[in-house]
C-alpha cells in the first residue's frame, strides 16, 4: 500500500467557512488546512507537502523550486494564473484546475447584476421605508430609469461554460446575443451570433466578461473599447479584475457615457480606499461572491478531490500544463 501523501491547503477559509467540510480530500492523505497564507509563509507551509491546493496564494517558479517533495498542485478555482505553469512543468508537476463548478451560480449572479442595474429594487425598497413613496402622493413611484431587457443585445466576451450559460439566460429574457471568443463554437438557437471584439462593443447594449486573464489581455477593456459602447450601455465583469482598466471605466461612468456597471472582481481584492470605482457613478460593486453559493462550493471541493484521486491513480484530470510529462 502506498503511503498517504502530505496534503496542504494554503488558503481554505473562503471555500470552507464552516459549511463545506474537507472530508473527501482528507480521506486521501494527511491533511493540513490553513485559512490563508501570506507570501512569506508559503515556502515554510509547503516544505513537506506532496500535494498543495491553492486558490489565491501564488506559487511562483522560485517558490516551486524550494518545495522538493511537491508532486501535484490542485487549484481550487477555474482560473489558474496564480501558478507558474512553466515552473511546475519543469519539475514534472501536474497542475489541475476545477472547471465548470460555478457555471450556474455565476451566470445567475450576472443576471442579478443586470436586473439590479436596470430596475434597482433594493434602492426603491429603501426609499419606500424612508417615506419617499408616501411623500410622492402617487400610486406608482420610481427614481431611476426602468429598463426592459427584451429586445436589447447582450455581448458575451469569452464563451466557455459560463459565457454560454449567460447567453442562454439572456435569450430567455428576450435579448439577442453576440459573443466573442478566439475559437467560435456552435451557436445557440435563436438570436445569436459571433462578432469581432470591437464590433461587439459597438453593437451590444450590455457587455459581460467571461474570459480568463492572460498576459495578452491585461486591461484590454480600456478607454478605447469603452468609447465604442452605446450611450446607456451596461458593463458587467464577473471574470477577472485585471481584464479592465478600472480608471478608464470610472471615467466613462462619471462622464455619463455608460448607464451603469457592475463588477464582482477587481484588480486588487479587496480594493484600496481610494479605488476609482468606489466613487464612480452608477457602479455596483460586490465582493467576489458570484461563485460562492454553497452548492457550487461543495461541487468545487468534490471535483478537487476527484482531481487528486486521478493523480494518485496515475491519471491526472483537468491538467492545465499538459506538457508537464515531457519536461519531467
Please name which of 207, 254, 204 lies closest in space to residue 235, comparing C-alpha atoms: 207
Please name which of 116, 118, 113, 108 lies closest in space to residue 168, comparing C-alpha atoms: 108
Residue 39 phi, psi (nearest 5):
-55, -35
Q: Match 506559487 to its residue by C-alpha cell.
A: 59
Please name which of 26, 55, 12, 106 lies closest in space to residue 295, comparing C-alpha atoms: 106
Q: Is 250 within 8 Å of 225 (Cβ atoms)?
A: no
Q: Which residue in 130, 132, 148, 269 is the catalytic one?
A: 269
Q: Which residue in 119, 275, 288, 309 is the catalytic one?
A: 288
Q: Which residue in 180, 240, 297, 299 is the catalytic one?
A: 240
Q: Is 44 within 8 Å of 65 (Cβ atoms)?
A: no
| Helix pair angle (103-119, 294-312), 10° resolution | 150
Whether 180 is a known active-site residue: answer no
Is the Cα dihedral 76, 25, 319, 71 positive or negative?
positive
Mark residue 294 as left, alpha or beta (left: phi above 0; alpha: psi -120 to 50; beta: remaining): alpha
Whether 288 is a known active-site residue: answer yes
Whether 210 is a known active-site residue: answer no
Q: Which residues form the catalytic set?
A: 240, 269, 288
Amino acid at each position: 500500500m502506498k503511503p498517504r501523501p502530505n496534503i496542504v491547503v494554503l488558503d481554505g477559509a473562503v471555500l470552507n467557512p464552516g459549511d463545506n467540510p474537507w472530508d473527501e480530500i482528507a480521506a486521501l492523505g494527511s491533511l493540513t488546512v490553513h485559512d490563508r497564507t501570506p507570501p512569506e509563509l508559503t515556502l515554510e507551509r509547503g516544505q513537506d507537502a506532496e500535494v498543495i491546493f491553492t486558490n489565491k496564494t501564488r506559487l511562483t517558479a522560485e517558490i516551486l523550486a524550494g518545495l522538493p517533495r511537491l508532486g501535484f498542485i490542485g487549484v481550487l478555482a477555474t482560473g489558474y494564473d496564480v501558478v507558474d505553469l512553466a515552473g511546475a512543468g519543469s519539475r514534472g508537476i501536474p497542475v489541475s484546475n476545477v472547471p465548470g463548478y460555478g457555471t450556474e451560480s455565476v451566470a445567475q449572479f450576472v443576471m442579478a447584476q443586470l436586473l439590479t442595474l436596470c430596475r434597482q429594487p433594493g434602492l426603491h425598497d429603501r426609499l419606500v421605508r424612508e417615506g419617499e413613496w408616501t411623500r410622492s402622493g402617487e400610486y406608482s413611484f420610481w427614481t431611476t430609469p426602468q429598463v426592459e431587457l427584451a429586445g436589447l443585445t447582450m455581448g458575451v466576451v469569452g464563451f466557455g461554460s459560463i459565457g454560454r450559460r449567460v447567453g442562454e439566460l439572456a435569450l430567455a429574457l428576450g435579448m439577442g446575443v453576440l459573443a466573442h471568443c478566439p475559437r467560435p463554437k456552435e451557436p445557440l438557437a435563436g438570436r445569436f451570433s459571433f462578432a469581432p471584439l470591437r464590433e461587439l462593443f459597438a453593437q451590444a447594449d450590455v457587455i459581460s466578461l467571461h474570459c480568463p486573464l492572460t498576459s495578452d489581455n491585461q486591461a484590454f477593456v480600456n478607454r478605447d473599447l469603452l468609447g465604442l459602447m452605446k450611450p446607456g450601455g451596461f458593463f458587467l465583469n464577473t471574470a477577472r479584475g485585471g481584464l479592465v482598466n478600472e480608471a478608464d471605466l470610472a471615467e466613462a461612468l462619471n462622464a455619463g457615457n455608460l448607464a451603469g456597471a457592475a463588477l464582482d472582481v477587481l484588480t486588487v481584492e479587496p480594493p484600496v480606499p481610494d479605488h476609482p470605482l468606489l466613487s464612480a457613478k452608477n457602479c455596483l460593486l460586490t465582493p467576489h461572491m458570484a461563485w460562492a453559493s454553497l452548492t457550487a462550493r461543495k461541487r468545487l471541493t468534490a471535483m478537487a478531490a476527484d482531481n487528486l484521486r486521478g493523480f494518485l491513480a496515475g491519471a491526472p484530470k483537468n491538467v492545465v500544463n499538459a506538457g508537464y510529462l515531457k519536461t519531467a
